[in-house]
Amino acid sequence: MLTQIAKGRVYDYSHSVGRGAASGMGFSQPVAMAVEGSTVYVLNRGLEGISNVPWNKVAYGARVSVIDVGETAGDEEFTGEFGKYGDRDGEFIWPSGMILGPDGNLYVSDEWLNVISVFSKDGGFVRKWAAAPADGKEHGIANIASDSQGNIYCTDGRSHEVRKFSPNGELLASWGSLGDGDGEFNSPWGITVDQADDSVYVADHRNHRVQKFTSDGAWVMQFGEAGSKRGQLHLPVKVTVDPQGDVYVADWSDNGMHPGKVHVFDREGNFIISLIGDAQQLSKWADMTVQANADYLKRRREVATTESEWRFALPTDVQFDEERSRLVVLDAQRSRLQIYDKRADYMVPQMNL
Amino acid sequence: MASQDIALMAHLMRRAGFGATREELETRAAAGYEATVEELLNPESQPAIDRYELVRYHPWTWRPGTIQGMGSAEWLYFMTNTKRPLEEKMALFWHQVFATGVSKVDHYDEITRMVALFREKGMGNYKELLLDIARNPAMIYWLDNFENHADAVNENWGRELLELFSMGVGTYTEVDVREASRAFTGWTFEPKLPRGPIGRHDWNFAYLPEDHDDGEKTFLGETGNFNGDDIINIICDHPATATFIARHLYNFFVADEAQVPAWQVIPPKDEAAIELLADAFIDSGSDLKAVLRVLFNSDFFKNARYARLKSPAEVVVGTLRLVGGFDFPAPGLGEMARQPTYMGQDLLNPPSVEGWHTGVEWINSGSLMRRINFTADMVSDVTRPGIRSMIDRMQAQGDLTPDTMVDSCLDLMGPLEVDGETRTELITHAAGGGNLTWGTNADVDASEQRISEMLQLIVSLRDYQYA
């Protein structure tokens, strides 16, 4: 369904943006994004492979892509990219999370180097800090978020912790350990902060739930349970909150049909609805590829249905564009964004049409 | 615990798996040989690898592209970390038999799905597996059955089904090939969305009755309006199939045989063993688990230590499991997955439908150097948990003379059996450094370095290339 209505919410599919590409117009294993109006920064993990050149032996496509997604289908523009694979300043091995901080800079986490690097929006490297202690444990900084005070939070998927840093990178607090009780985690991944009250939400990946904390780490509540039925979670990856307090959970939902969903919950954790991906038309850039390949065009006309390409495939991020009241889903394995309008002005058509 | 128990268990785990650490061998030997065989044959008693643990860190492994080195990374991770070693070993066995390559199919993801099928059904019923393979889109494309039409028969699949997948040359006629091929007309796949520009999609089997030759056929002496599944039933009931699969299993698990194309002219090394396995195949209704149970509990298996050359996959995976520390899928997995390729076995990309030639054909000057360099590099890292454990065990024995040092290293690396001349050479080398001592930190550092060097010498021996 392109338009879904449930409990007073309307999610109206708009369009998709992107295609697979190791550089330029498209994405390569995207893992996170930051949304600023129509500008979207997409963090690409890239992929491993073998190159016969020694200076890029391990990865292709790791970078930050900068695009303007415009208002409607076909508006999108590629405006630049920066960063590359490596372990020097401004480089990344396993880029994992990205936010646009209150200071207007981009913060990028790396879950192999375990650093948070700061870039200006034009890609200039500003600084970085080690985000994991040297305590003998294995660490992996999985995702980051910031609160209304500019503090930075990160999940550590390997030590099963959340850490809170000052805007300058000073460690303020940490909480969590391996387990499935209140405040415990099993490979926490996505994290977000509700800017309304600085509540912290964590996608507790291998516990198949979302946990909510105060900004100081006091446990508040959890929601979601393991399963593949309506509203149940399977490997939640990312969580975000919109200005109305609705909570969106990007999930890998391995039910054999749709390897990804975005579940919507209200602020009390009650399930509202799930989105499964609705990209019935190719994005502008994807269509460029198809139009340039006669065999692609022919084969696409031979298939019984294109439905398998409409759906999400292992989404890795979900963000809400407050200015345009739209939900942006990073549909990772399809190398694209799927965009839904959250509409307050929707008029339900006559029911007996 | 008797050293012979450990040696026999090590033999079983090299063949039915990819080797085991001394700690694992001791645990298994205490449980007993037959009990271990049963555990290996019933892998569901052990946890499966969670594919999403890998995808979480290496998202490119979900449906990998066709860049060389990409495709087999997931499988390497599975083989290195599985607690169900025989399940992965059987996947490797069937990949060698139903050899299908990305060089033509151009979809690592589809061949990986085939490996998943081997993982799921590789120890089940052969007939069921063969039927699934006949319906597998990668196989249908690999052997051109999508071009096998009622009015234009293509014999590629029908021929290889008989020649390489079930009965072997010399047990059927050209007419049988033609008739089998007619029976598989209409077995094809649905058109699928192309791989670009937003990733790959599943390929699905399709049966087109309008493109199937429903006429009468005579196949291996039986006549009827056969379809493909009828052909597979007849094949599986034929004694040649039992013998052919038995010989494949013997070659893979027991001792190097002649290359498959020569089987029509070169008799098996151990005809009684082949007969025993073939009988088990027939008696069980082609139940592979029943055949494997007979094989692993037989004397001919137990007495066949170091009677076959390790394949490159066995060298790489066995070494990674021995040295340890690869449970977390760190960056560089793609490069690690290329190591068997450098030694002559490009997983998911066999040289032809015949699979890889095995035994001595694995070895040439280039591949041997790759084997030695890789394994020596791995065992030289004394921080690896498996190497650390060996050092700790030797340190616990106190100061060691050169001959006890060599014997301990050979024991912990297998136990590896070498001839007297080789042992003497190793001891001569070790004697240059005197006794291994542990009195001071400097002594410990020096002893660890000398053990590391000895292990590197051992993996470069001819003997280490055998399983």
Bridge partners of residue B24, in order along the sequence:
none
The pLDDT assigned to A55 comes to 47
* Interface contact A19-B198, CB threshold 8 A: yes
Question: Which residues on B lie below 8 Å from A235 (Cβ)?
Answer: 52, 56
Rounded Cα gap, residues B435 and B449, in angstroms: 13
Owner of token pair 């399977």: A234
* Interface contact A112-B330, CB threshold 8 A: yes
Please report the DSSP string for B162-231 in residue order: HHTTTS-TTSS-HHHHHHHHHHTTTEEE-----STTT------EEE-GGGS--S-EEETTEEE---HHHH
Q: Which of B63, B67, B331 comes nearest A94 by C-beta?
A: B331
Owner of token pair 């700061």: A118
Bridge partners of residue B314, in order along the sequence:
none
Residue of A nearest to B330 (CA): A112
The pLDDT assigned to B64 comes to 86
Contact call for residues B142 and B104 (beta carbons, < 8 A): yes
Contact call for residues A33 and A41 (beta carbons, < 8 A): yes
Token pair of A222 as six digits: 């959890």
Segment A99-115 shows an average pLDDT of 96
Confidence of residue A49 (pLDDT cuts 50, 70, 90): confident
The pLDDT assigned to A192 comes to 98
Question: Which residues on B lie below 8 Å from A335 (Cβ)?
Answer: 197-199
Assigned CATH class of A3-337: mainly beta
Instruction: Please determine, for residue A54, whether its predicted confidence score (pLDDT) is greater than 70.
Output: no
Q: Does ipTM exceed 0.85?
A: yes
Q: b/e string for A95-120 if b means 16 or more Cβ within 10 A? A: bbbbbbbeeebbbbbbbbbbbbbbbe
Sign, CA torsion B396/B399/B401/B406? positive
Burial (0-12, 13-18, 19+ Cβ within 10 Å), A55: exposed
Name the percent of chain A lying above pLDDT 70.
Answer: 97
Contact call for residues B36 and B28 (beta carbons, < 8 A): yes
Token pair of B442 as six digits: 């400097």
| Residues 6 or more apart whose Cβ sits within 8 Å of residue A21 | A27, A28, A61, A285, A335
| Residues 6 or more apart whose Cβ sits within 8 Å of residue B392 | none
Sign, CA torsion A127/A133/A138/A140? negative
By three-state DSSP, how is residue B458 classified? helix
* Interface contact A286-B335, CB threshold 8 A: no
* Interface contact B196-A290, CB threshold 8 A: yes
Phi, psi at A305, each rounded to 5°: -155, 150
Rounded Cα gap, residues B200 and B184, in angstroms: 27
The pLDDT assigned to B69 comes to 65
Q: How far apart are the first and last CA of chain B?
A: 22
| CA B335 remoteness from chain centre | 20
Segment A260-271 shows an average pLDDT of 96
Instruction: Please determine, for residue A18, whether its predicted confidence score (pLDDT) is greater than 90.
Output: yes
**Nearest-CA distance from B193 to chain A in Å?**
6
Residue ranges per structural domain of chain A: 3-337
- Length of chain B equals 467
Token pair of A279 as six digits: 């990209």
* Interface contact B197-A282, CB threshold 8 A: yes
Rounded Cα gap, residues A341 and A10, in angstroms: 8
* Interface contact B191-A302, CB threshold 8 A: yes
What torsion, rounded to 10 degrees, do the Cα atoms B64, B65, B69, B72 define? 40
Smallest CA-to-CA distance from A41 within A103, A109, A114, A100 is with A100
Question: Which residues on A lie below 8 Å from B202 (Cβ)?
Answer: 308
Q: pLDDT per position in chain B (467 positions), as tens? A: 568 899 999 999 999 999 999 999 999 999 999 999 999 999 999 999 999 999 999 999 999 877 766 789 999 999 999 999 999 999 999 999 999 999 999 999 999 999 999 999 999 999 999 999 999 999 999 999 999 999 999 999 999 999 999 999 999 999 999 999 999 999 999 999 999 899 999 999 999 999 999 999 999 999 999 999 999 999 999 999 999 999 999 999 999 999 999 999 999 999 999 999 999 999 999 999 999 999 999 999 999 999 999 999 999 999 999 999 999 999 989 889 999 999 999 999 999 999 999 999 999 999 999 999 999 999 999 999 999 999 999 999 999 999 999 999 999 998 998 999 999 999 999 999 999 999 999 999 999 999 999 999 999 999 999 99
Sign, CA torsion B109/B112/B114/B116? negative
Q: What is the pTM of this model?
A: 0.96
| CA A321 remoteness from chain centre | 13
Instruction: Name the percent of chain A in helix, strand, coil, to the closest 5.
Output: 10, 45, 45
* Interface contact A304-B190, CB threshold 8 A: yes
- Chain B CB within 8 Å of residue A290 CB: yes
Tell me which amino acid residue A208 is: H
